[in-house]
Amino acid sequence: MDPNVRPESMERITTPALAEKFIAEQVAAIKAQVGDKKVLLALSGGVDSSVVAALLIKAIGKNLVCVHVNHGLLRKGEPEQVIKVFRDEMDANLVYVDAVDRFLDKLAGVKDPETKRKIIGAEFIRVFEEEARKIKDIAFLAQGTIYPDILESKDGVKAHHNVGGLPEDLKFALVEPVKLLFKDEVRVVGKALGLPDNMVYRQPFPGPGLGVRCVGAITRERLEVVREADAILREEFAKNGLQGKVWQYFTIVPDFKSVGVNAEGKRTEGYLVVLRAINTRDAMTATVAEIPFALLSHITDRITHEVAGVNRVAFDLTPKPTGTIEWE
Ligand code: XMP
């Protein structure tokens, strides 16, 4: 039997009871696989890696070493939440790496979107490798691979290795407890493991994070604008019942300023915050979500008053195609 093929007899995990059964089976399987050896995990705080972390903590406790790399491109509150949930509440062995300056210094002045992605990806591997070398006796690498990742690698859509690119001497045996699950099942399991809703039902977030939404060369100032505006958008969507209803929503800040006027009648030059809210099934095509005009006006009012350096807000009305979901 191919371990990377989901057996036809495997029941879809849709209920807490089925999730508990899966958790018990996986805890036993992990214990049998790793024994008293140490396991390393790159914990981003996304659904998949968080569920894998929680499963492994249940199975082997402090023998799981989670490494959370803050590359400076995470959303507001994310690194803090990873620390709170995993270190404070689950008593995990968590290494927090503040690599903000390292990433932002490397990205300074780089405009090309693909080059930005490559720099972020390569630097991530380098930071993770350095941390892996500091920890003694690691025998396994845990990964949040899920079933669509396996299917897509088979179809040749994308090569999948979450922490691909590690040197040969750091190629550990893999622990991939959710590799036969679909995303909706991972969420049911995450809920049963006691992870908070905003982690379990998180919208998709690109690996290069806010870096793809801070269009052009990333500056710390503009990155803060993207992050603060995004936090307001998410807060307002949550307050108004749109969280979990709209598939993905975020803010983008292009690299130019335009002229505006402030309440005192003085000319300003400020950034434009673009709001994007889309619905899709598979992210290959997308439609624009219909957001009540009053809410859009309220969000505009908050962003222009609360986020320093912004004098305009726009809503992106473009479906995919012709626009992609992200701006890059
Ligand atoms: P585009 O912009 O191509 O985005 O229409 C399609 C979906 O993919 C997400 N996205 C990523 N997800 N790593 C990810 O895990 C990435 O590097 C990445 N880049 C884009 C994007 O947010 C959208 O949901």
Q: What pLDDT digit, counting tens, does each position of 272-309 carry?
A: 999 999 999 999 999 999 999 999 999 999 999 999 99
pLDDT at position 163 is 67
Please identify, by atom number, the ligand 1 atom nearest to the C-alpha of residue 320: 5
The answer for residues whose C-beta is within 8 angstroms of residue 105's C-beta and 6 or more apart is none
User: What integer is the mean pLDDT of 134-158?
Assistant: 89
Q: How far is the CA of 136 from the centre of ligand 1 (A)?
A: 35
Do residues 276 and 313 lie in contact, with contact meaning Cβ atoms separated by under 8 Å?
no
Q: Is pLDDT above 60 for 48? A: yes
Do residues 148 and 180 lie in contact, with contact meaning Cβ atoms separated by under 8 Å?
no
pLDDT at position 156 is 67
Express each pLDDT in 10-47 by its tens digit: 999 999 999 999 999 999 999 999 999 999 999 999 99
One DSSP character per residue, 63-89 reads GEEEEEEE-S-SPTTHHHHHIIIIIII
pLDDT at position 164 is 73
Ligand 1 cavity residues, CB under 6 Å: 204, 206-208, 248, 283, 320, 324-326
Protein residue whose Cα sits closest to atom 7 of ligand 1 = 283
Express each pLDDT in 80-113 by its tens digit: 999 999 999 999 999 999 999 999 999 999 999 9
The answer for residues whose C-beta is within 8 angstroms of residue 212's C-beta and 6 or more apart is 113, 116, 117, 206, 326, 327, 328
Tokens coding 87: 């270190």
Express each pLDDT in 250-280 by its tens digit: 999 999 999 999 999 999 999 999 999 999 9
Q: How far is the CA of 153 from the centre of ligand 1 (A)?
A: 16
Q: How far is the CA of 328 from the centre of ligand 1 (A)?
A: 10
One DSSP character per residue, 251-264 reads EEB-S-EEEEE-TT
Protein residue whose Cα sits closest to atom 13 of ligand 1 = 206
Percent of the chain with pLDDT over 70: 98
Average pLDDT, the chain: 96
- Residue 140 pairs in a beta bridge with 39, 173
| Distance, CA of 113 to CA of 269 (rounded, Å) | 25
Q: Is pLDDT above 90 for 190? A: yes
pLDDT at position 107 is 98
Tokens coding 44: 């981003």
User: What integer is the mean pLDDT of 205-229?
Assistant: 97
pLDDT at position 89 is 97
Q: How far is the CA of 261 from the centre of ligand 1 (A)?
A: 35
| Distance, CA of 308 to CA of 246 (rounded, Å) | 27
> CA Rg, the chain, in Å?
21
User: What integer is the mean pLDDT of 230-259?
Assistant: 97
Do residues 291 and 309 lie in contact, with contact meaning Cβ atoms separated by under 8 Å?
no
The answer for residues whose C-beta is within 8 angstroms of residue 122's C-beta and 6 or more apart is 165
**Angstrom distances, CA of residue 151 to CA of 146, 162, 181, 186:** 9, 15, 11, 16
Q: Is pLDDT above 80 for 160? A: no
Q: How far is the CA of 293 from the centre of ligand 1 (A)?
A: 27
Protein residue whose Cα sits closest to atom 11 of ligand 1 = 206
Q: How far is the CA of 81 from the centre of ligand 1 (A)?
A: 22
Please identify, by atom number, the ligand 1 atom nearest to the C-alpha of residue 248: 24
Q: How far is the CA of 80 from the centre of ligand 1 (A)?
A: 24
Tokens coding 131: 């941390």
End-to-end C-alpha distance for the chain, whole angstroms: 42
Tokens coding 94: 């968590």
pLDDT at position 175 is 98
Please identify, by atom number, the ligand 1 atom nearest to the C-alpha of residue 205: 22
pLDDT at position 185 is 98
Place 154 in a pLDDT band, splitting at 50, 70 and 90.
confident
Q: Is pLDDT above 90 for 152? A: no
| Distance, CA of 230 to CA of 217 (rounded, Å) | 19
User: What integer is the mean pLDDT of 243-255?
Assistant: 97
The model's pTM is 0.94
Do residues 39 and 60 lie in contact, with contact meaning Cβ atoms separated by under 8 Å?
yes
User: What domains sit in the chain, N to C, each tagged with a CATH number?
Assistant: 16-200 (3.40.50.620), 213-315 (3.30.300.10)
Q: Is pLDDT above 60 for 161? A: no
Please identify, by atom number, the ligand 1 atom nearest to the C-alpha of residue 208: 17
Q: Which residue has the tokens 């009053």?
A: 294
